[in-house]
Amino acid sequence: MGKPLFYEILEKPATSCMIGICSAIWFYIQKKNIGYQHVGLSYETAAEGHHWRIITSAFSHISVIHLVFNMSALWSLGVVEQLGHLGLGMAYYLQYTLVLVVLSGLLVLGMYHFLIQRFKVEYFRRVTAVGYSCVVFGWMTILSVKQPSSKLDLFGFLSLPISFAPFESLIFTSIIVPQASFLGHLSGIIVGYAIAWGLIHGMTNYWAVSMLGWIAVAFVFSLKRSGAYDFNFLEIESVTDPSLRSVRFIGNARTLQMSTIPVEGVEIV
């Protein structure tokens, strides 16, 4: 008999939090009747400045089956938190989950760009990706390198050797779920190998928190700039001081206000 669920949650706190976040977002999406086109990532929306979708697409699931599959795999991959002796552990898990979310999203956009610009495959301009699969496939890959003897348990009864799990799952999902994002899953595998082989390394709590802060800033400003959400408190009002002389640059409609206090050695013609 396995351990009670409560003890397993305590052993995988970060994994449990990620599952809780994704489940809560799925519930909110269902309650508000939000479609994948409102939160998903596509080349077209990214080109329009909706960069915030790199984050929302990763944590959003529209189908309950999609959610259950990803969270079941993620729960099994939570063993990473218990492998501190291999240089992994909870801090490593959180740090590189952040890397996987961002880099896999950027990589899939890069793949779309290459296919559209080089091979004129316009299909990838509008295809929209949602789901945590990129992160799940990334952790499958990392674990297959760091702990190849591990098993990936799905739905509590299906067990796969972790060493083959990334590509087995890639082929399996492509056949069973034709609308699954092959490039999204592949991007997770590529970033996962880059992390496992040390090509991407050096993450610490300091860099992770710094990265998270910059992501939050970029997320908010991207939301505002794209018009998806209006943050009134970020509105910058133009202030004109009538006591300052204005100099207008012809052609670009910009006005520079200059002090009338004379400056030695400078002449304004």
Annotated catalytic sites, by residue? 133, 185
Any idea what the Cα angle at residue 215 is, between residues 214 and 218, rounded to 5°?
85
Helices (H), the chain: 5-11, 13-32, 36-39, 43-47, 53-59, 64-77, 90-119, 123-126, 133-146, 165-176, 182-196, 205-226
CA distances from 187 to 112, 133, 141, 206 (A): 11, 10, 11, 26
Chain center to CA of 256: 40
Q: Which residue has the tokens 């992994």?
A: 88
3-state secondary structure (DSSP) of residue 144: helix
Helices 205-226/90-119 angle, 10° precision: 40
Residues 137, 174 contacting (CB under 8 angstroms)? no
- Taking the C-alpha atoms of residue 172 and residue 133, their distance in angstroms, rounded to an integer, is 13
3-state secondary structure (DSSP) of residue 247: strand
Residues 155, 64 contacting (CB under 8 angstroms)? no
Residues 103, 191 contacting (CB under 8 angstroms)? yes
- Taking the C-alpha atoms of residue 184 and residue 135, their distance in angstroms, rounded to an integer, is 10
